[in-house]
């Protein structure tokens, strides 16, 4: 008697989950994660403001424009790989009308993952490889505990570290070099030291 191959999950498997469940399909398996901690949410919101502001919201109002920058949208990289990165960006010329798309099927030009204890290994290994395999040109990893940003650029299918930045840096980080980012503004203030 032969064992049947396990069924690989698809986007339809995400649609049957309750709305408050944060889930993705990675390698055909449904993977869930808890809601983010406030320090994670702070970094995510700050990135949306300081990157999304000039590159998405300010299009035509003094910023460089030309991008869509979204927080936690579903992206189908394949039938069995549906991700929901913390932030993702597309050049508008590649994604003309995203308003009603779910999942988005156009590969992003930039993905940013903010590390959480429950997702750090997955973001650094499994999803990093997945983004490279699907040709995402830029990948940022934000570590709220280390207060750092690592920016990677895809070259010939492999991630090359463009640079790493700590919370003291002000930097023009690819692909958003037109505006300098004050990295420290992504994080909650350091706790006061009581002596």
Burial of residue 30 (CB within 10 Å: 0-12, 13-18, 19+) is middle
Please give the model's pTM, rounded to 2 decimal places: 0.92
Provide the pLDDT for residue 6: 82
Domains and CATH numbers, the chain: 36-186 (3.90.1570.10)
Tokens 């004050």 correspond to 182
Stretch 25-47: mean pLDDT, rounded? 94
Provide the pLDDT for residue 131: 98
Provide the pLDDT for residue 2: 58
Residues 121-170 pLDDT 10s: 999 999 999 999 999 999 999 999 999 999 999 999 999 999 999 999 99
Question: What number of residues does the chain have?
Answer: 195
Q: What is the 3-state secondary structure (H, E, C) of the chain?
A: CCCCCCCCCCHHHHHCCCCCCEEEEECCEEEEECCCCHHHHHHHHHHHHHCHHHHHHCECCCECCCEEEEECCCEEEECCEEECCCEEEEECCCCCCCCCCCCECCCCCEEEEECCCCCHHHHHHHHHHHHHHCCCCEEEEEECCCCEEEEEEEECCEEEEEEEEECCCEECCCCCCCCCEEHHHHCCCCCCCCC
User: Please, what is the average pLDDT of the chain?
Assistant: 93
Residues 40-63 pLDDT 10s: 999 999 999 999 999 998 766 778
């Amino acid at each position: 008697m032969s064992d049947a191959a396990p069924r690989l999950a698809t986007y339809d498997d995400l649609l049957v989950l309750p709305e408050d469940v944060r889930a993705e399909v990675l390698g055909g398996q449904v993977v869930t994660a808890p809601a983010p901690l406030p320090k994670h949410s702070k970094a995510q919101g700050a990135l949306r403001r300081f990157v999304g502001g000039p590159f998405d919201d300010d299009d035509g109002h003094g910023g460089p424009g030309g991008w869509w920058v979204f927080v936690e949208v579903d992206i189908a990289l394949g039938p069995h790989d549906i991700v929901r990165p913390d932030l993702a960006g597309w050049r508008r010329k590649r994604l003309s009308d995203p308003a009603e798309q779910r999942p988005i099927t156009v590969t992003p030009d930039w993905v940013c993952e903010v590390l959480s204890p429950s997702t750090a290994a997955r973001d650094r290994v499994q999803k990093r490889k997945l983004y490279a395999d699907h040709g995402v040109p830029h990948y940022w990893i934000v570590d709220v505990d280390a207060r750092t940003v690592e920016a990677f650029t895809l070259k010939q299918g492999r991630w090359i570290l463009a640079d790493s930045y700590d919370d003291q840096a002000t930097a023009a980080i690819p692909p958003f070099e037109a505006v300098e980012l004050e990295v420290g503004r992504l994080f909650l203030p350091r706790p006061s030291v009581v002596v």
